Structure 1
């Protein structure tokens, strides 16, 4: 697996985890008494954060809301530099 394949696969994992969080958020909005769903929502947020952190530690920030990683600070991350995460 090439480095770009690894990066792309990790980015897909971030997107998948974010999708799960959004879907569970929508579900729990309409089913606030479903304690199992609320626990799944909490776990999904933790999992999504862990995958995002792993991606950003290796490849740089995904959004402007992300605190820049050590790597990004060391190399002087520039948002106008390509490739952007969605261009990989």
Structure 2
């Protein structure tokens, strides 16, 4: 992934998350659509890479076992992704 700033990476994660959820819903009713499965797998891979990229630079996006943390515990560092200040 090209060198993106924090806001650009979050936007990419949001876009890819939306695409994965949308395709997941579609695949619930069209499970044999090979093209959609391939698109889902591609977007899912890109999403995981974007999340890994973000977390390596800025710390965990979620808690409860989905992401690693350095020491000190990074989850308490601010701003959090949902804070308005995050995108400034």
TM-score range, shorter chain: 0.7 to 0.9
Across the two proteins, how many residue pairs are aligned to each other? Answer: 80
Is 1:21 equivalent to 2:20 in the alignment? yes
Is 1:85 equivalent to 2:81 in the alignment? yes
Q: How many Å separate the matches in 2 of 1:42 and 1:86?
A: 27
Contact 2:59 2:75 in 1 (8 A): no
Mapping of 1:43-58 within 5 angstroms?
A: 43-58=42-57
- The range that moved more, 50-59 or 5-14, is 5-14
Structure 2: runs of 5 or more not aligned: none
Higher helix share: 1
Name 2:66's counterpart in structure 1.
Answer: 66
Q: How many Å separate the matches in 2 of 1:78 and 1:57?
A: 11
Does the C-alpha gap of structure 1 residues 58 and 78 become closer, same or farther in structure 2, counting only changes over 3 Å? closer
CA drift at 1:67: 2.7
CA drift at 1:78: 4.2
Q: How many Å separate the matches in 2 of 1:73 and 1:81?
A: 11
TM-score of the two chains, using structure 1 as the length reference:
0.80
Structure 1: runs of 5 or more not aligned: none
